[in-house]
């Protein structure tokens, strides 16, 4: 099992930056691919970024490509999401997830491991 706790959210002005952290507990973190999702009120949860267990592959939603960067430090059992050039449409609750990455299809599949989320609000 993996337990996840997100942090680092807050209120930021458009064009600003935030760095989200997801601290994981449990012995399986290093073998899990990880994903960052976000969900705005009334919208479905959206996959934002993924990273393989070793960190050798990353993927991003088109809407955040070039602005967001996902990374992980397995020694610290932590995955990060660096968010730059934030836009109001980035406003959402951000969740991290432990899941599976399939190299043959370059696809991420979430497992049932979710944190409580951290609110990101981009507004002037």
∠ at Cα 102 (98, 94), nearest 5°? Answer: 35
pLDDT digits (tens, 9 = 90+) for 8-43: 999 999 999 999 999 998 767 788 899 999 999 999
pLDDT digits (tens, 9 = 90+) for 61-119: 999 999 999 999 999 999 999 999 999 999 999 999 999 999 899 899 998 888 999 99
Q: For residue 84, give the nearest of 68, 65, 62 by alpha carbon.
A: 68
3-class DSSP assignment, residue 3: strand
Query: Strands of 18-25's sheet, edge to edge?
Result: 3-7, 18-25, 78-83, 68-73
Whether the CB-CB separation of 27 and 50 falls below 8 Å is answered with no
Average pLDDT over the chain, rounded to whole? Answer: 94
pLDDT for residue 4: 93
């Amino acid at each position: 099992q993996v337990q996840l706790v997100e942090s680092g959210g807050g209120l930021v002005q458009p064009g600003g930056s935030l760095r989200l952290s997801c601290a994981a507990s449990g012995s399986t973190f290093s073998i899990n691919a990880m994903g960052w999702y976000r969900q705005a009120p009334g919208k479905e949860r959206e996959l934002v970024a993924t990273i393989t267990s070793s960190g050798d592959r990353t993927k991003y939603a088109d809407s955040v490509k070039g602005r967001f960067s996902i990374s992980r430090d397995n020694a610290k059992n932590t995955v990060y999401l660096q968010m730059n050039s934030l836009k109001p449409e980035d406003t959402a609750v951000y969740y991290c997830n432990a899941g599976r990455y399939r190299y043959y299809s370059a696809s991420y599949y979430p497992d049932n491991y979710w944190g409580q989320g951290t609110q990101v609000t981009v507004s002037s």
